């Protein structure tokens, strides 16, 4: 199954994508994670991307299109993919259509996770990360020991772009540049809205119901 997981910053894309990819045995492709790994490793791409990410801006389309073109053709995507955080602009969606047409892996469904802005701000400001990739929320999903990762014992930190001033900019950029993709995918009848306001488990079940009925 080939899926795009869509939604504003903090909607729960990463949280759901990790579990869904395991459940359906498909590859999870998070452009945010790919960019952050490059920032961490100090690559040329990471140095360039950091400038945009820390301001809450989108990294230029041509950079992301190149990343996706390579990644979607990797062997682990042969059973399907779950795109998390891509596409984010109309040019990215157009480029994706072109790439997927060439490799014969069209999108089956775009899941649009809907959460009101007020809740998004609470989720992002309370999120804490570990360098091993685990993500927590101080209130909704706290670690067993404050500030320490349950999985690896690492020290938790706040993402630079989860600071208050950057969060509001990310939400503005989402409304201006990314939200128009809802109409883009509705118009071709592959968009399904998901109520993202319940618990992590209830949102997961809702998505599974949609995907299972799609597979029949
Ligand atoms: P990216 O990492 O993709 O950030 P994002 O889309 O803003 O998404 P987030 O990771 O903030 O949120 P999420 O929806 O994954 O929520 P999560 O599950 O973590 O991108 C970062 C930056 O990279 C961009 O700003 C941009 O600069 C650049 N970039 C990336 N892709 C790009 C592209 N295609 N083009 C250009 N630039 C690009 O959940 C959030 C919190 O809420 C967590 O603490 C979690 O525990 C909690 N939570 C989750 N679900 C629930 C729930 N149901 N109830 C309560 N709490 C919940």
Whichever domain contains 60, its CATH number is 3.40.50.300
Residue 125 domain-assigned (yes or no): no
Average pLDDT over residues 8-21: 96
Q: Please report the pLDDT score of residue 214 as a whole number.
A: 86
Residue 136 counted as domain residue: no
For the chain, the domain total comes to: 1
Containing domain of residue 60, as a range? 2-115+164-215
State how far the Cα of 193 lies from the Cα of 136, in Å rounded to an integer: 25
- Domain annotation covers residue 101: yes
- Reply yes or no on whether 170 is catalytic: yes
Q: Would you say the CB of residue 170 lies under 6 angstroms from ligand 1?
A: yes
Is 159 a known active-site residue? yes
Q: Is 127 a catalytic residue?
A: yes
pLDDT digits (tens, 9 = 90+) for 66-114: 999 999 999 999 999 999 999 999 999 999 999 999 999 999 999 999 9
Question: Cα–Cα distance between 75 and 202 in angstroms, integer?
Answer: 32
Q: Please count the other Cβ atoms lying within 10 Å of the Cβ belonging to residue 100.
A: 16
pTM score, two decimals? 0.95
Confidence of residue 164 (pLDDT cuts 50, 70, 90): confident
Q: Give, for ligand 1, the residue of 18, 28, 111, 123 to mutate: max count of ligand atoms closer than 8 Å to Cβ.
A: 123
* Lookup result for tokens 């409304």: 175
Please report whether residue 69 resides in a domain. Answer: yes
Count of CB atoms situated within 10 Å of the CB of 104:
6
DSSP classification of residue 64: H
Whether the per-residue pLDDT at 216 is higher than 90: the answer is no
Beta bridge partners of 192: 111
For residue 112, give the 3-state DSSP assignment: strand
Mean pLDDT of 117-131: 95
Q: Yes or no: say if 83 and 106 are a contact pair by the CB < 8 Å rule.
A: no
141 belongs to a structural domain: no
- Ligand 1 closest atom vs CA 197: 53
127 occurs within a structural domain? no
Does 52 reside within a domain?
yes
Residues 6+ apart with CB under 8 A from 101: none
**Mean per-residue pLDDT for 127-142?**
93
Ligand 1: does its nearest atom lie under 6 Å from the Cβ of 166? no
Whether 143 is in a domain gets the answer: no
Q: Would you state the pLDDT for residue 37?
A: 95
201 three-class SS = helix
What's the confidence (pLDDT) of residue 215?
79
Give residue 144 CA to ligand 1 midpoint distance, Å: 23
């Amino acid at each position: 199954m080939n899926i795009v997981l869509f939604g504003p910053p903090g909607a729960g894309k990463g949280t759901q994508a990790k579990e869904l990819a395991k459940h359906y045995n498909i590859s999870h492709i998070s452009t945010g994670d790919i960019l952050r790994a490059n920032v961490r490793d100090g690559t040329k791409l990471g140095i360039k991307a950091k400038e945009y990410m820390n301001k809450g801006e989108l990294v230029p389309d041509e950079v992301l299109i190149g990343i996706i073109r390579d990644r979607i053709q990797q062997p682990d995507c042969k059973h399907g993919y779950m795109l998390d955080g891509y596409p984010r602009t109309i040019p990215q969606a157009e480029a994706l259509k072109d790439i997927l047409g060439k490799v014969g892996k069209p999108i089956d469904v775009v899941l649009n996770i809907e959460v009101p802005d007020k809740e998004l701000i609470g989720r992002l400001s309370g999120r804490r990360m570990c360098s091993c990739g685990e993500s927590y929320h101080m209130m909704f999903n706290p670690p067993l020991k404050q500030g320490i990762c349950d999985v690896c014992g690492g020290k938790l930190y706040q993402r630079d772009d989860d600071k208050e001033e950057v969060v509001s900019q990310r939400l503005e950029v989402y409304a201006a540049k990314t939200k128009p993709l809802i109409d883009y995918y509705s118009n071709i009848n592959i968009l399904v809205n998901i109520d993202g306001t319940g618990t992590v488990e209830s949102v997961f079940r809702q998505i599974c119901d949609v995907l299972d009925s799609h597979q029949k």
